[in-house]
Chain A
């Protein structure tokens, strides 16, 4: 393998999702990287499935330090918690992060874990636990989350009803770049909660003037002004409320409520001309908005006060028609939800491809029920229920697709069984024969190796004699034996001849010994190589033979078990989806009924006021026509 230099191959582990510090930024574990790949695309189920398996396998290792995940294990544990949090699995997320917190990790990592845990508790509404987790933060804190920790701490105090505790933190944070607007607004609310009205007004005034072009901060600036204006309005300080309500941008998310309040503030000081201005703007806006609906009724009321009864009657008439249409629309929506259309619309995949899918729901003509649910859709509890319903729908799709896969698995196993079963008996017979031959050769090889090793320590030239020389030597020994058994006259002569021959042979064996031993060693080394190749092929065959069996044996039980688990999970999911869906429908219907009730009330008022305006208009006309 041509390897790339480590510096090039080192992949930096980006931590936009995982803001925890890591021991090493270079990615060493591809499977962890794969989990991040899915997480970065928002596919947290896939990310969790991969990372959970990887972390579990790592934990089962005898020598985890040899595994590539070892270098990222803290990051991986963090990511696991992070992904679980994003996949709305708070219970498991808490466990994963607690595990990091209680492990032998350095100060920075522990503090980061404590912050994450606190955030989970805060989201779950467990404020005491959140504060306990924050109190575990001690020593070095990662710079990236220093302000987040403090902001969270202040929010926990506010949620606990201890506003005074949050003053210090919020005062400091209102000068920071990341939390400036939010901290400033929250400080105003904290003063208000603490009963310090004037301090709250001053603070909200400050929050309502922050210089920013960030959309989120602009929105919080509007909110500060709206809240400040509303407090003054409710306190009867109508003129003082006006400048703050006027500060709210006309195109911001709080503009409708600000326009409505501005109208009421003007009307309350009997400045009817001024009240007409914001209400005229508001009455022309999206009719499903509750502030708009109120303005549609308030605007003709102001005209009535200005004695422009004809115009008032026209606007009451418009309001009456509009409320009628909206009540019909709400009735249709309630009926549609009862028929299950709402849930069907929510799980349509093409809608959710866009991150702003909730917003787009209202533009779907076939889902009128969503027009009035935007406020509800934005509420935390409804969002949780809705997201759960969507997650359940996704899980159900996955399970159904897996269930169809089991038949393919069974087919695959059957095909392999039918292929291998007829072939394997013959193959096994041939193999047994080959195996016994091979074992014999292995034994012979071992014997030769031993002989070579012996010769190196104890030279035995006759062991290296050629076949002919061995035959000659045997013949000489045979003659020597015969001469001893049958002595004759020629004995001396014959013995000398035999000894000469033997001496000649011994001379050859002795003088050629080293050369022969070297050659023997060389031949043996060649044989070693051949034996190694043979062993390799033997091993490969054994593996292939095992793989053949493993490809179709032992799957029946796990496949059946998985099939049963999937079916059980589908049943459970169906039950949960039905309950979750029913709850969403009930909440949605409740919301629509409440909105319908309000509209019906408005319609009755409009009907009465319309008749009254006509009367007044007629009377005014009659008066004007009197001589």
Chain B
């Protein structure tokens, strides 16, 4: 191998050495900061948790609190585009699903779609789901349910299933 080639290779190797030393030194410094970053993440999580509790106390007192959750039944393949919730005939919320949100629901996640306040006593909940069946056909299905609100916070879980299966694709349960 000629001297010139060796020189070239040395230049190349030298470049690598310089780079790796610079990274190594900075890497140590970065690791020392990493611990502090983890600490502040912990602090902010604790603030977030306390803030949520405060917010809930202020905006949704337990005596009137109602939370509505949406999930998709296991192994469902239909595409959910939107869900609309009405309480006592009034629109409570309307949600259009992104691909990521739909995927999270299909993997077993549960979405808190609405938190609000209702008086104790009997109420009417209407749920409408819009989407596309596996066959490509568009669908829109609605169903109504009655529920009773007591002095405890109320959690309602809505499970959405295949609307083409013959039975209602919207099931509601109490938690």
Asked whether A and B interact, the reply is yes
Q: A9-B173, A294-B8 are in contact. Are A30 and B145 (CB under 8 A)?
A: no
In the docked arrangement, what's the CA distance between A90 and B147, Å?
44
- Give the one of B1, B4, B38 with max A CB within 10 A: B38
* Complex interface: chain A residues within 8 A of B138 (CB): none
Is A566 interfacial (CB-CB < 8 Å)? yes
Contacts A543-B151, A576-B40 hold; do A12 and B74 have CB atoms under 8 A apart? yes
Q: Inside 8 A of B29's CB, which chain A residues have their CB?
A: 583
Is B91 among interface residues, defined by CB-CB distance under 8 A?
A: no
The CA-CA distance from A90 to B151 in the complex, in Å, is 41
Which listed segment binds A: B80-88, B100-108, B126-134? B100-108
In angstroms, Cα B114 to Cα A286, docked, is 51
Shortest distance from the beta carbon of B155 to any chain A beta carbon, whole Å: 6
Residues on the B chain within 8 Å of A587, using CB: 22-23, 26, 30
Q: Which of B29-72 contact A (CB under 8 A)?
A: 29-31, 33-38, 40-45, 47-55, 57-58, 61, 63-64, 67, 69, 71
Q: Tell me how many residues of B have a C-beta within 8 Å of chain A.
A: 77
The reply on B118 being an interface residue by CB < 8 A is no
Q: Which A364-401 residues have C-beta < 8 A from chain B?
A: 376, 379, 381-382, 384-385, 388, 391-392, 395, 398-399
Counting CB contacts under 8 A, is A572 at the interface?
yes
Q: How many A-B residue pairs have CB under 8 A?
A: 241
Q: Is the CB of B172 within 8 A of A4?
A: yes
User: Are A412 and B58 also in contact (CB < 8 A) when A36-B109, A576-B33, A576-B40 are?
Assistant: yes
* Binary CB contact string for chain A from 548 to 586 against chain B (1 if under 8 A, 0 otherwise): 001100010011001001100100110010011001001
Give the docked Cα–Cα distance between A385 and B28 (Å): 11
Given contacts A89-B38, A294-B8, A395-B41, contact A583 B109 (CB under 8 A): no
C-alpha gap A288/B104 in the complex (Å): 39
Mark interface residues in A26-46 (1 if CB within 8 Å of B CB, else 0): 010010011011111110010
Number of interface residues of A (CB under 8 A): 92
The answer to whether B54 touches A391 (Cβ under 8 A) is no
Instruction: Give Cα distance in the complex from A36 to B130, angstroms.
Output: 23
- Quick check: is A290 within 8 A (CB to CB) of the other chain? yes
Establish whether residues A399 and B23, one from each chain, have CB atoms under 8 Å apart when the complex forms.
Answer: no
Is B135 an interface residue, CB under 8 A from the partner?
Answer: no
- Taken together as a complex, chains A and B put the C-alpha atoms of A56 and B46 apart, in Å, by 11
* Nearest-Cβ distance from residue A137 to partner chain B, whole angstroms: 27
Q: Is A597 among interface residues, defined by CB-CB distance under 8 A? A: yes
- Whether the pair B38, A90 counts as a contact (CB closer than 8 A) is yes
Contact B33 A40 (CB under 8 A): no
Q: Tell whether, in the assembled complex, residue A402 and residue B26 are in contact, meaning their CB atoms are under 8 Å apart.
A: no
Q: A27-B110, A49-B49, A605-B8 are in contact. Are A4 and B159 (CB under 8 A)?
A: yes
Q: Mark A510-554, 1 if CB is under 8 A from B, else 0.
A: 000000000000000000000000000000100110010011000
Minimum CB distance partner of A92 in chain B: B42
Question: Roughly how many angstroms separate A8 CA and B174 CA in the complex, as a whole number?
Answer: 13
**How many angstroms between the C-alpha atoms of A605 and B10 in the bound complex?**
13
Nearest Cβ on chain A to B157's Cβ, whole angstroms: 6
Interface centre among A297, A598, A605 (most CB of B within 10 A): A598
B-side contacts of A580, CB under 8 Å? 30, 33, 37
Task: Evaluate whether A558 and B109 lie within 8 angstroms (CB atoms) in the complex, with A268-B1, A294-B12, A594-B18 already known.
Answer: no
B30 touches A89 (CB 8 A): no
Q: Does B73 contact A (CB under 8 A)?
A: yes
The reply on B142 being an interface residue by CB < 8 A is no
Q: Mark A583-618, 1 if CB is under 8 A from B, else 0.
A: 100110011001101100110010000000000000
Contact with B along A69-85 (1 / 0, CB 8 A): 00000000000000000
| A88 within 8 Å of B (CB atoms) | yes
Q: A37-B110, A583-B26, A594-B22 are contacts. A392–B69 as well, Cβ < 8 Å?
A: no
- Is the Cβ of A36 less than 8 Å from the Cβ of B107? yes
A364 → chain B, closest Cβ, in Å?
Answer: 23
Q: How far is the CB of A388 from chain B (nearest CB, A)?
A: 4
Q: B171, A49: Cβ atoms under 8 Å?
A: no
Whether, in the assembled complex, B96 has its beta carbon less than 8 Å from a beta carbon of chain A, the answer is no
The answer to the question of A115 belonging to the interface, with a C-beta cut-off of 8 Å to chain B, is no
A264 interfacial by beta-carbon distance below 8 Å? yes
How far is B67's CA from A149's CA once the two chains are assembled, in angstroms?
Answer: 41
Contact residues in B for A388 (Cβ distance below 8 Å)? 30, 33-34, 37
Asked if A1 and B38 make an inter-chain contact with CB atoms under 8 angstroms apart, the answer reads no
| 8 nearest A-B pairs in the assembled complex, by CB-CB distance | A33-B110, A37-B109, A4-B171, A381-B27, A14-B108, A40-B104, A590-B22, A12-B74
Q: Which residues of A contact B (CB under 8 A)?
A: 1-4, 8-17, 27, 30, 33-34, 36-42, 45, 48-49, 52-53, 56, 68, 87-92, 264, 267-268, 290, 294, 297-298, 301, 376, 379, 381-382, 384-385, 388, 391-392, 395, 398-399, 402, 409, 412-413, 540, 543-544, 547, 550-551, 555, 558-559, 562, 565-566, 569, 572-573, 576, 579-580, 583, 586-587, 590-591, 594-595, 597-598, 601-602, 605
What are 7 residue pairs bridging A and B, where the CB atoms are less than 8 Å apart in the complex? A33-B108, A33-B110, A45-B48, A56-B49, A268-B5, A573-B40, A598-B15
